[in-house]
């Protein structure tokens, strides 16, 4: 890393340490009453012409199969598309035969849980009594309208039984789960610092080791990375730990063209 970049990282990290500690002391909360909705015409207009019809067909299938009416009427276009993408990832890579009736799922790094409708409807569809927990270390990060991630997450889950948003560091979380989902974990310093976290929170080896400890035997950890270097680093960590995994390689969404490439790994605990 160039000296200038190192200095920039150092400065941003100092700022993050102060801001992160401040917001976790204040724990500001303010009830969200509704979510901004956008009309969903031309959802896939940014895709190449030849793939738009395919995306429209798949959206219709998911809409019917996963009861997306509430989401479609209460979301921005991007949020709706991101939920469709999460559903597609789960359909393609999550081992559905393994889902038990009283399944406990953990989603790591839930942010404002803008994709909880996808998780909820996917798992409910298979196992009505499933419980889903999302854990977020930086839940009190604030938006320009003075609402926090916490506020949005709580609003999004207010009609969902057995869904829990937990504020905390997953490394200190000891509960056991049948399956774990990790969408875009931090593996390298720059993305983590850009997202406002102190560098001390970057512990990818410990993260993987810990998740393996808290997933029940016969369970899985689905990991989606968004940069090739991060995906390769996670594979090195898994290899060093001797954990078995399926490498699905690159995933391309049918619904959006992402400038950051995405990669999928599925760790299976014996």
Ligand X SMILES: C[S@@+](CC[C@H](N)C(=O)[O-])C[C@H]1O[C@@H](n2cnc3c(N)ncnc32)[C@H](O)[C@@H]1O
User: Where does this chain bind ligand X (CB under 6 A)?
Assistant: 108-109, 111, 135-138, 169-171, 183-184, 186, 195, 197, 201
Compare residues 171 and 233 and give the one whose CB is closer to ligand X.
171
CB of 75 to ligand X, least distance (A): 14
What CA–CA distance (Å, rounded) separates 182 from 197? 17
Compute φ and ψ for 37, nearest 5 degrees: -110, 145
CB of 186 to ligand X, least distance (A): 6
117, 155 in Cβ contact below 8 A?
Answer: no
DSSP line for 118-158: HHHHHHHHH-TT-EEEEEETTTT-B-TTS-BHHHHHHHHTT
Compare residues 55 and 89 and give the one whose CB is closer to ligand X.
89
Q: Which residue has the tokens 């001390």?
A: 200
CB of 53 to ligand X, least distance (A): 27
Compare residues 99 and 171 and give the one whose CB is closer to ligand X.
171
CB of 36 to ligand X, least distance (A): 18
Compare residues 134 and 219 and give the one whose CB is closer to ligand X.
134
Compare residues 90 and 135 and give the one whose CB is closer to ligand X.
135
What CA–CA distance (Å, rounded) separates 71 from 156? 10
Q: Which of 199, 188, 200, 198 is nearest to 228 (CA)?
A: 188
Q: Which of 124, 132, 86, 128 is nearest to 107 (CA)?
A: 132
CB of 101 to ligand X, least distance (A): 26
Compute φ and ψ for 219, nearest 5 degrees: -90, 175
In the beta sheet, which residues pair with residue 153?
none
């Amino acid at each position: 890393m160039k000296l200038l970049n190192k200095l920039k990282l150092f400065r941003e990290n100092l700022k993050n340490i102060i801001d992160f500690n401040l917001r976790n002391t204040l724990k500001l909360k303010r009830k969200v009453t509704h979510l901004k909705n956008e009309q969903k015409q031309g959802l896939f207009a940014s895709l190449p012409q030849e793939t738009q019809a395919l995306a429209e067909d798949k959206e219709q299938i998911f809409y019917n199969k996963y009861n997306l009416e509430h989401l479609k009427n209460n979301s921005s276009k991007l949020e709706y598309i991101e939920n469709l993408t999460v559903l597609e990832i789960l359909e393609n890579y999550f081992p559905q035969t393994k889902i038990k009736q009283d399944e406990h799922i953990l989603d790591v790094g839930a942010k404002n849980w803008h994709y909880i409708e996808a998780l909820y409807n996917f798992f409910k569809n298979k196992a009505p009594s499933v419980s889903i927990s999302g854990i977020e270390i930086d839940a009190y990060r604030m938006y320009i309208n003075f609402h926090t991630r916490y506020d949005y997450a709580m609003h999004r889950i207010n009609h969902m039984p057995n869904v829990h948003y937990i504020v905390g560091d997953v490394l200190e979380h000891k509960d056991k789960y049948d399956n774990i989902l990790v969408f875009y974990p931090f593996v390298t310093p720059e993305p983590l610092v850009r997202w406002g976290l102190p560098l001390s929170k970057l512990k990818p080896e410990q993260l993987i080791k810990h998740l393996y400890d808290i997933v029940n035997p016969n369970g899985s950890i689905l990991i989606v990375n968004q940069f090739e270097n991060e995906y390769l680093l996670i594979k090195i960590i898994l290899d060093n730990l001797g954990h078995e995994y399926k490498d699905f390689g690159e995933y391309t969404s049918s619904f959006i063209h992402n400038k950051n490439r995405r990669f999928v790994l599925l760790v299976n605990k014996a």
